[in-house]
């Protein structure tokens, strides 16, 4: 028991005070310029099936084709597109939602209402934006625990500080989806930069954008001939959670395998998770005013990869309070206080301890206990022996004589009723009735015992009867065989006949009075 508690104390860090960094880490994420070129990313896929034969990726969520995405065109950015070629601005391919969220567009459908001198022209067109190799995120973070946050509540001198930042050379362990370390990063002054391709690889969904998704999760394709396929990953999009957790050497979780050279140091982990994959979309409205009088309204229905940053982690410090609480728990579980109190009361209180010790540790003589038990057994059998006429037991005639003597002052019962009462009681005690009668009789007997509390007075009323005056009866061979039946006899006598139940209370009063 003690070894298990000590192991729990050490392994679970119960000697330390754990402080969560979820609200302490200040982090910022942005869309980085990226090391890849939008033009190079576009040219790498321009002649592939994605752009040249995009019809095989058409998808409709409903049978009415209201939510259909088909006839896609791979669209370039306007900084390298031909003069007459449709294009998209780089700013429309990625969006910074907030400090912890970035959205990269992989596919969108444009609903446009163009207006000129002749009227309004409504258009609809779907596009692929194949720039995942050019997309990147930037990440910076910082945390600092003040002395008052780490000061032990009991020991004011136990002041410890933990801090770290992406600019301070704190190592970052990049983890895969199985919590294994992929590689180590040492952030520079610009923070951490990761391409979208690296993020997808970290989450084990490197081929997500070019793969058809499960129709059971994302919806079956309602277009003719495509029923067995779900949407292309580029069309469905993907929510991606990027977790930045920081620890010091004490608070490292058990599942994390930290390199030996980082033992005892402050470090962070970075992990991408795509386990909650569902549709990821965004809608944008805009009005474009050109140099000519014509203008048009655009509604963009986009799908893409949404990266959300989540921060957390823990740091731990040696805490006197935590150690004290753990020791108290160990003492209570081992029942040490109980043993200490027992030792104090039986040893260290002088004559009072002698009294307490005799009460707690009672001594007895086995011979005396056996002798007392035998004496009580003999005294309980005296009443039965005095009522016994022969060596076989108490005859029915003796029972009738004793009943008449006990009920001589009872005016409610005549001689015939008393005889019937005796007959019923004798048969019930000797179990001569039916099984159902014996069951009802036992139930009534228990109720009477609860009402009367004790039947000693009845036993006393039967004591001292002159057995020499008894006359033998033809039913003398019907005897009460056991001394224990005496108590049952006295209880059952109050339950004999239905006609006597009306006078039940009077009968009990008579028995008590005669006693």
Percent of the chain with pLDDT over 70: 71
479 and 430 co-located in one domain:
yes
Within-domain flag for 72: yes
How many Å separate Cα 407 from the centre of its chain? Answer: 69
Convert the pLDDT of each residue in 364-373 to its tens digit. Answer: 777 777 778 8
| Cα distances (angstroms) measured from residue 419 to each of 140, 399, 438, 499, 508 | 107, 10, 20, 13, 18
Round the average pLDDT of the chain to a whole number and report it. 76
What pLDDT was estimated at residue 271?
95
139-156: pLDDT as tens digits: 999 888 765 555 554 444
Q: Which of 159, 121, 132 is nearest to 44 (CA)?
A: 132
For residues 15 and 89, state if they share a domain. yes
pLDDT tens profile 448-473: 444 444 444 344 433 433 444 444 44
On the question of pLDDT at 50 being above 70, the answer is yes
Q: What is the pLDDT of residue 135?
A: 92
Determine, yes or no, domain membership for 340: yes
> Is it the case that residue 99 has pLDDT exceeding 80?
yes
120 confidence band (pLDDT: 50, 70, 90) = low
Tell me the whole-structure pTM to 2 decimals.
Answer: 0.62
Query: What is the pLDDT at residue 400?
Result: 84
Q: Does residue 244 belong to any structural domain of this protein?
A: yes
Residue 384 domain-assigned (yes or no):
no
Do 500 and 430 lie in a common domain? Answer: yes
Please report the pLDDT score of residue 449 as a whole number: 44
Is the pLDDT at 483 greater than 70, yes or no?
no
Examine the fold and report which residue of 264, 287, 318 is the final residue of a domain before the chain moves on.
318
* Structural domain contains residue 93: yes
For residue 444, what pLDDT is reported? 52
- Rounded CA gap, 262 and 315, in Å? 15
Query: For residue 221, is it within any domain?
Result: yes
Instruction: Round to whole Å and give the CA distance between 501 and 494.
Output: 8
Indicate if 313 and 327 belong to the same structural domain: no
At residue 42, does pLDDT exceed 50?
yes
For the CA atoms of 31, 34, 37, 41, what is the dihedral angle to 10 degrees?
A: -70
Same domain, 303 and 335: no
Span of 17-21, 87-91, 129-133 with lowest mean pLDDT: 17-21
CA distance 237 to 427: 92
- The conformation of residue 153, written as its DSSP 8-state character, comes to S
Q: Which helix (H) or strand (E) holds 95?
A: strand 94-98
**pLDDT at 489 (0 to 100):** 45
Same domain, yes or no: 287 and 325: no
Whether residues 138 and 277 fall in one domain: yes
278 and 224 in one domain?
A: yes
pLDDT value for 98? 92
pLDDT tier at 432 (50, 70, 90 boundaries)?
low
| DSSP designation for 23 | T
Residue 279 sits in the same domain as residue 291? yes
The residue segments making up the domain with residue 500 are: 389-514
pLDDT of residue 454: 44
- Give yes or no: residues 221 and 112 share one domain: yes
Distance, in Å, from the CA atom of 404 to the CA atom of 422, rounded to the nearest integer, reads: 9
513, two tokens: 């009075």
Residue 294 lies in a domain: yes
What's the pLDDT at 291?
40
What pLDDT sits at residue 249? Answer: 74
Spatial neighbors of 452 by CB under 8 A, at least 6 apart, are 491, 508
Is residue 270 within 8 Å of 172, Cβ to Cβ? Answer: yes
Work out the percent of the chain whose per-residue pLDDT is above 90: 23
Q: What is the average pLDDT across 12-23? A: 77
Q: Give whichever of 209-218, 330-339, 464-473 has the largest mean pLDDT.
A: 209-218
Q: Does residue 321 surpass a pLDDT of 80? A: no
Distance, in Å, from the CA atom of 98 to the CA atom of 309, rounded to the nearest integer, reads 10
Of residues 448 and 250, the one with the higher pLDDT is 250
**Which of 150-159, 305-314, 347-356, 404-413 holds the top average pLDDT?**
305-314
Most confident range (mean pLDDT) of 94-108, 223-237, 329-343, 350-364 is 94-108
256 and 338 housed in the same domain:
no
Domain count, the chain: 3
Minimum mean pLDDT range among 39-43, 58-62, 297-301, 327-331 = 327-331
Q: Is residue 108 part of a domain?
A: yes
| Residue 406 pLDDT level (bands cut at 50, 70, 90) | confident
Work out the average pLDDT over 96-110: 93
Q: Is 482 helix (H, G, I), strand (E, B) or coil?
A: coil
The string of pLDDT tens digits covering residues 160-210 is 456 788 887 788 999 999 999 999 988 877 788 999 999 999 999 999 999
Reported as a single tens digit per residue, the pLDDT across 281-308 is: 999 887 665 544 455 678 899 999 999 9
For 193-230, the DSSP string reads EEEHHHHHHHTT-TTSTTSBPPHHHH----STT-TT--
The predicted structure's pLDDT at residue 316: 79
Torsion angle defined by CA atoms of residues 66, 72, 78 and 83, in that order, rounded to the nearest 10 degrees: -110
Same domain as 180, residue 268 = yes
């Amino acid at each position: 028991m003690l070894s298990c508690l000590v192991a729990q104390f050490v392994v679970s860090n119960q000697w330390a005070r754990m402080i969560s960094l979820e609200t302490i880490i200040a982090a910022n994420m942005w869309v980085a310029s990226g090391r890849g070129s939008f033009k190079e990313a576009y040219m790498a896929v321009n002649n592939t099936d994605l752009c040249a034969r995009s019809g095989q990726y058409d998808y409709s969520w409903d049978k009415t084709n209201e939510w259909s995405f088909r006839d896609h065109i791979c669209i370039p950015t306007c900084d390298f597109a031909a003069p007459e070629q449709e294009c998209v601005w780089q700013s429309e391919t990625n969006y910074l939602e907030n400090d912890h969220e970035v959205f990269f567009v992989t596919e969108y459908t444009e609903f446009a209402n163009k207006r000129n001198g002749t009227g309004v022209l409504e258009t609809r067109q779907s596009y692929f934006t194949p720039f995942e190799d050019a997309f990147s995120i930037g990440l910076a973070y910082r945390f600092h625990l003040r002395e008052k946050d780490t000061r032990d509540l009991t020991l004011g001198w136990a002041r410890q500080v933990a801090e770290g930042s992406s600019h301070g050379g704190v190592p970052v362990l990049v983890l895969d989806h199985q919590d294994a370390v992929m590689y180590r990063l040492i952030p520079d002054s610009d923070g951490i930069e990761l391409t979208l391709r690296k993020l997808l690889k970290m989450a084990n969904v490197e081929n997500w954008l070019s793969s058809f998704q499960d129709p059971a999760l994302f919806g079956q394709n309602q277009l003719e001939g495509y029923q067995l396929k779900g949407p292309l990953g580029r069309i469905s999009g993907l929510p991606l959670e990027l977790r930045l957790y920081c620890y010091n050497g004490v608070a490292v979780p058990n599942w994390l395998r930290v390199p030996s050279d980082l033992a005892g140091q402050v470090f962070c982990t970075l992990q991408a998770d795509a386990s909650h994959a569902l549709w990821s979309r965004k809608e944008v409205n805009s009005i474009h005013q050109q140099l000519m009088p014509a203008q048009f309204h655009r509604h963009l229905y986009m799908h893409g990869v949404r990266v959300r940053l989540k921060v957390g982690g823990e740091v731990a410090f040696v805490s006197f309070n935590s150690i004290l609480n753990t020791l108290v728990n160990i003492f209570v579980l081992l029942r040490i206080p109980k043993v200490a109190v027992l030792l104090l009361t039986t040893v260290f209180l002088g004559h009072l301890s002698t009294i307490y010790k005799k009460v707690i540790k009672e001594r007895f003589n086995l011979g005396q206990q056996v002798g007392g038990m035998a004496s009580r057994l003999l005294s309980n059998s005296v009443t039965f022996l005095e009522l016994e006429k022969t060596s076989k037991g108490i005859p029915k005639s003796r029972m009738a004589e004793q009943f008449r003597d006990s009920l001589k002052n009872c005016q409610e019962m005549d001689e015939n009723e008393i005889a019937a009462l005796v007959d019923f009681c004798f048969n019930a005690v000797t179990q001569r009735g039916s099984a159902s009668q014996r069951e009802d009789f036992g139930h009534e007997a228990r109720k009477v015992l609860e009402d009367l509390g004790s039947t000693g007075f009845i036993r006393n009323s039967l004591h001292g009867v002159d057995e020499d005056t008894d006359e033998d009866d033809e039913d003398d061979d019907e005897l009460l065989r056991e001394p224990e039946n005496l108590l049952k006899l006295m209880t059952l006598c109050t339950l004999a006949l239905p006609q006597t139940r009306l006078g039940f209370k009077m009968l009990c009063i008579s028995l008590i009075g005669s006693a």
